[in-house]
Amino acid sequence: MERMSVKLFKDQYAWIRMTRENTFRCCELVQDEEYRQELNGFGWASIRDLHVHVAECYQNWLAVFGLKEAMTIVTPEDVENVNDMRRVFSTIDSLVARFLEEFDGQNETHICGKVPWQKEEESLSVLWLYTHTTTHEFHHKGQIVSMIRQLGYTPIDTDLLIPDDVETYFSKK
């Protein structure tokens, strides 16, 4: 497979961050108590808990497994509301930047390490680690939107923005 540069991944991650901001804005429709409220039918209990799960996935796979960094992993108790979650994800953004810089052009490089739920070590490529964490976030974003609907709200569109919408949409902040 052809090596891809860190610029391509950084550009892609910028789009992921814009989509995440849409998800945060969607979460702001609900009250803080509802953000933390357990809902039936979802394995991660509350919107907040699901958001925390997404963040800890980045922390575990990119920092602990990929970069071999010791890290305090975020827990639901660390987050009371959407603004707290935004702060957590600002640290995730820095983590992703470090990961991409460290492995610039090394997408097929394999990293070996222990995975807590396995006996044997795992060997995973840099591209797999990045792809898994970002697609994992999008998977759970869909669940978060469903949870917001279950609470009786009409969520805003959280799909990936088209380029023409970016400047207009984010200049309204």
- E strand intervals along the chain: 110-113, 122-125
132 annotated to a ligand binding site = no
140 annotated to a ligand binding site = yes
- Side chain identity, residue 77: E
> Minimal CA–CA distance to 26: which of 114, 151, 132?
151
Burial class of residue 60, CB neighbours in 10 A (0-12, 13-18, 19+): middle
136 annotated to a ligand binding site = yes
Contact 126, 107 (CB under 8 A): yes
> Minimal CA–CA distance to 103: which of 5, 8, 13, 14?
5
**CB neighbourhood size of 172 (10 A):** 5
Specify binding-site residues for a divalent metal cation: 53, 136, 140
Specify binding-site residues: 53, 136, 140
